[in-house]
């Protein structure tokens, strides 16, 4: 469990416990709110009418497991209990969790109204607190897969494992858009452009199922609202000093998509927007999230988030008032939850928080509890307990690992490795380490080293994949290699971290251990393939010229065999960079479209060349040593520009006008990131006229058989090949010279030719 907030424990101990209970003489039975045949809204209204103020305050309180006993749930009518990173029961097994959960629910049943608790945990890459659970790649790897359907299946598998332990609610997905790779939470992001987290919001469908009270449905949380990935310097819990236009175009779209998919809860970000803490922002919570976006679920704080409002330890009335009145419905508190309840009660009794606000918060929370079916089935569905770490789920994870690998360099076709008649040397601190390959948020908050949970290390995967007459030799630091080996695989990278502990304000290079290992390997003259296990791009430009191959593996989780599948060519790599790869740490922040010269651009990723038979034995020559700035990645060069200049995703995507540009009041740029089976189109509409545009409709026609599968920042529709995008309330007005960015994900078969003409409100626009 985490220790950083233990200072608050004192406040909790000192807090008074005066709870006035509702006058229920008997346990409730047969009351309208207990009738599953009545509409949820009716049940909520009936229940609210029976609750005392203290029962309502309890519903709004979420206490952390180590600091909340079963008796506390009964006495204080707690609405929710949670496990922060690593706050696991003992024994930390699926059954241990289910037993713990059921004990809490029985304590809730011992209250007059028998309102079940909702138990939350961070299942952010599988049910990661539970030893034995399937650990999926962290989100950055899933972003590289560009496979929203796979991500939905991961959500479903995760939901089954979560349900099998009783837990009702996961604090995921993180829909953060990581704009600066110095940020310690970069790996929790699906990617640096809003379209990736937006596309991957399918995980919500997997987690929540087709209906919340269906089997193994768990409530999802879109977090951290909003612009947590946009802070200056990539500082965790920092300040996003950005315009509202940037907040809306970069950071808001994934949340819009989450709301569209009926996400049950939204977690507020610790961070600030232009100096104001998000936890106190009525504009962003009440006005934008609940008003404009129409979010009907409930809003939860981050861990003791309210307590950060004034920067002083301990809840104050002013903090609680500001946050609850800003629209927060449930308050996550590690230990000082009694103090919170007392403070909240005092604010309500003084009339500074209205009863109506309390009722609204309760209505939102109780609605989700009813929808989840908790009143009917408060105990763990143990038919899912056996799915935790099941072979079927591990197979999905292995598929995700395969699809998340991004091949960045492949000189002389050193990859794929020949399975047969090969002599492979494996080295590196991350080669045989489940903890390292899983990263933070694995069993413990910060993650760990070694066999912290069952799985297959990358080395084990390489060994298992070796064919006839192939030897695989392993030495962690590279000692023992000699020129008789045909290839060396160095599995190196970052050691685990979570949140601010992963912030990198200085160097983003490989550590001395890795550099020593690599030097040892290189001195042998054997070509070196680097498998980089990291939560973000690392500063490798002065090294990559020494390597024959480079595979960005991200944080693959427990199924290391998926890495071996790619190394051996059992699966030809399809992963594409979800972030721009810097030339040097000094370039941070670096993002697609900002004009900075990357080492590898957003969307880049090689595959194995089908046109010729891969060499059965790897090249034995020394890998090129020229600096990477003159060595573009080899096997399949980027389709246009080498990565030393402008990213290739941008230039080929701007549609060249096929006819001389027409004069219009608008200009449309249509840029495509194509990953073979699908694509993302980024469309910029600019008002080039002299009058403001108030409300717009953009039309264009696909020249091929493309389909819009999912759009953002506009209402999209398609009829035949004709596509229409209509403004949303926030981007409908375009002053002269102003532009707005909208976009969509699409599918196609055959070619993907671009539309050549666009019209805005019936007037032709110039293209480009």
Could you give the residue numbers annotated as active site? Answer: 302
Q: At what angle do helices 355-371 and 40-48 cross, to 10 degrees?
A: 140
Residues whose CB is less than 8 angstroms from the CB of residue 759 and which lie 6 or more positions away in sequence, other chains included: 698, 699, 700, 765
CB count, 10 Å around CB of 242?
A: 19
763 forms beta bridges with: 760
CA nearest to 564, candidates 408, 405, 439: 405
**Closest CB 84 distance from ligand BGC, rounded Å:** 4
**Closest CB 237 distance from ligand BGC, rounded Å:** 8
Q: Contact at 8 Å (CB) between 105 and 422?
A: no
Beta pairing class for 298-300 and 276-277: unpaired
**Closest CB 636 distance from ligand BGC, rounded Å:** 38
**Closest CB 6 distance from ligand BGC, rounded Å:** 14
Which CB sits closer to ligand BGC, 84 or 575?
A: 84
Cα dihedral 127, 128, 129, 131 in deg (nearest 10):
90
Which CB sits closer to ligand BGC, 118 or 685?
A: 118
Which CB sits closer to ligand BGC, 89 or 624?
A: 89
**Closest CB 160 distance from ligand BGC, rounded Å:** 21
**Closest CB 390 distance from ligand BGC, rounded Å:** 25
Question: For every residue of 623-653, which 3-state class applies, written as one string?
Answer: CCCCCCCCCCCCCCCCCCCCCCCCCCCCHHH
The token pair that represents 463 in the structure block: 């060994």
CA nearest to 89, candidates 61, 30, 131, 51: 131
Question: For every residue of 488-507, which 3-state class applies, written as one string?
Answer: EEEEEECCCCCHHHHCCCCC
Q: Contact at 8 Å (CB) between 260 and 292?
A: no
The token pair that represents 252 in the structure block: 């808001």
Q: Contact at 8 Å (CB) between 672 and 681?
A: yes
Which CB sits closer to ligand BGC, 33 or 303?
A: 303
Residue 6 backbone dihedrals phi, psi, to 5 degrees: -60, -20
Residues interacting with ligand BGC, by CB under 6 A? 84-85, 122, 171, 223, 302-303, 499
**Closest CB 173 distance from ligand BGC, rounded Å:** 11
Helix (H, G, I), strand (E, B) or coil at 684: strand
Helix (H, G, I), strand (E, B) or coil at 740: strand
Residues whose CB is less than 8 angstroms from the CB of residue 216 and which lie 6 or more positions away in sequence, other chains included: 156, 159, 160, 162, 163, 164, 209, 381, 384
Which CB sits closer to ligand BGC, 171 or 568?
A: 171
Which CB sits closer to ligand BGC, 83 or 553?
A: 83
Q: Contact at 8 Å (CB) between 62 and 341?
A: no
**Closest CB 221 distance from ligand BGC, rounded Å:** 7
Which CB sits closer to ligand BGC, 446 or 598?
A: 446
Which CB sits closer to ligand BGC, 269 or 410?
A: 269
CB count, 10 Å around CB of 768?
A: 12
Four-residue CA torsion sign, 371, 374, 376, 380: positive
């Amino acid at each position: 469990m985490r220790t950083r907030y233990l200072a608050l424990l004192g406040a909790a101990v000192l807090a008074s416990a005066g709870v006035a209970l509702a006058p229920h003489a008997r346990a409730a039975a047969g009351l309208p709110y207990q009738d599953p045949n009545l509409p949820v809204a009716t049940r909520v209204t009936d229940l609210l009418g029976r609750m005392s103020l203290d029962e309502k305050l309890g519903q709004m309180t979420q206490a952390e497991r180590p600091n909340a006993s079963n008796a506390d749930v009964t006495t204080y009518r707690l609405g929710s209990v949670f496990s922060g990173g690593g706050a696991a029961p003992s024994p930390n097994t699926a059954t241990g969790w289910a037993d713990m959960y059921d004990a809490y629910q029985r304590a809730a049943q011992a209250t007059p109204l028998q309102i079940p608790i909702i138990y939350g945990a961070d299942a952010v890459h599988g049910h990661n607190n539970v030893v034995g659970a399937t650990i999926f790649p962290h989100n950055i790897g899933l972003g590289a897969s560009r496979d929203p359907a796979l991500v939905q299946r991961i959500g479903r598998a995760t939901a089954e494992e979560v349900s099998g332990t009783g837990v009702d609610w996961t604090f995921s997905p993180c829909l953060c858009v990581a704009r600066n790779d110095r940020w310690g939470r970069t790996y929790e992001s699906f990617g640096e452009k809003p379209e990736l987290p937006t596309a991957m919001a399918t995980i919500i469908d997997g987690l929540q199922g087709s209906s919340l009270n269906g089997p193994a449905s768990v409530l999802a949380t879109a977090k951290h609202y909003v612009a947590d990935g946009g802070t200056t310097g990539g500082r965790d819990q920092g300040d996003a000093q950005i315009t509202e236009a940037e907040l809306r175009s970069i950071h808001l779209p994934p949340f819009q998509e989450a709301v569209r998919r009926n996400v049950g809860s939204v977690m507020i970000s610790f961070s600030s927007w232009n100096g104001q803490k998000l936890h106190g922002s009525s504009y962003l919570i009440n006005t934008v999230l609940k008003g404009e976006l129409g979010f009907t679920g409930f809003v939860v704080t981050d861990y003791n988030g309210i307590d950060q409002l004034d920067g002083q330890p301990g809840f104050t009335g002013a903090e609680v008032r500001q946050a609850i009145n800003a629209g927060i419905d449930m308050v996550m508190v590690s230990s000082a939850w009694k103090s919170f309840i007392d403070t909240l009660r005092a604010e309500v009794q003084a009339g500074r928080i209205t009863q109506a606000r309390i009722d609204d918060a309760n209505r939102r929370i109780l609605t989700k509890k009813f929808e989840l079916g908790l009143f009917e089935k408060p105990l763990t569905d143990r038919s899912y307990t056996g799915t935790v770490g099941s072979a079927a789920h591990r197979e999905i994870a292995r598929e995700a690992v395969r699809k998340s690998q991004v091949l960045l360099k492949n000189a002389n076709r050193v990859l794929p490795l020949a399975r047969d008649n090969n002599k492979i040397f494996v080295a590196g601190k991350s080669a045989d380490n489940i903890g390292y390959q899983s990263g933070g948020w694995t069993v413990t908050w910060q993650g760990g080293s070694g066999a912290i949970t069952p799985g297959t290390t990358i080395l084990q995967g390489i060994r298992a994949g070796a064919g006839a007459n192939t030897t695989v030799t392993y030495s962690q630091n590279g000692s023992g290699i000699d020129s008789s080996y045909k290839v060396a695989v160095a599995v190196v990278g970052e050691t685990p971290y979570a949140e601010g502990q992963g912030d990198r304000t200085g160097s983003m290079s490989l550590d001395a251990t890795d550099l020593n290992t690599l030097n040892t390997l290189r001195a042998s003259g054997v070509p070196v393939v680097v498998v980089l296990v990291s939560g973000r791009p690392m500063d490798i430009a002065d090294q990559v010229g020494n390597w024959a191959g480079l595979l960005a593996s991200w944080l693959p989780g427990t199924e290391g065999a998926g890495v071996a599948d790619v190394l051996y060519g059992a699966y030809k790599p399809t992963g594409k960079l979800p972030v721009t790869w810097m030339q040097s740490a000094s370039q941070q922040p670096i993002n697609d479209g900002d004009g900075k010269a990357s080492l590898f651009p957003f969307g880049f990723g090689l595959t194995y060349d089908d046109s010729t038979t891969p060499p059965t034995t790897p090249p034995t020559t020394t890998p090129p040593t020229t600096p990477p700035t003159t060595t573009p990645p080899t096997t399949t060069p980027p389709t246009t520009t080498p990565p030393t200049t402008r990213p290739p995703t941008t230039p080929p995507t701007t549609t060249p006008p096929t006819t001389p540009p027409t004069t219009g009041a608008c200009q449309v740029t249509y840029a495509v990131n194509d990953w073979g089976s699908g694509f993302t189109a980024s469309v910029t509409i600019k008002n080039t006229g002299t009058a403001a545009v108030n409300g717009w409709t953009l039309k264009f026609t696909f020249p091929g058989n493309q389909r819009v599968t999912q759009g953002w920042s506009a209402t999209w529709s398609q009829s035949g090949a004709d596509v229409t995008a209509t403004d949303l309330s926030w981007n409908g007005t375009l002053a002269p010279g102003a532009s707005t960015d909208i976009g969509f994900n699409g599918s196609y078969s055959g070619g993907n030719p671009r539309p050549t003409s666009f019209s805005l409100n019936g007037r032709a626009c110039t293209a480009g």
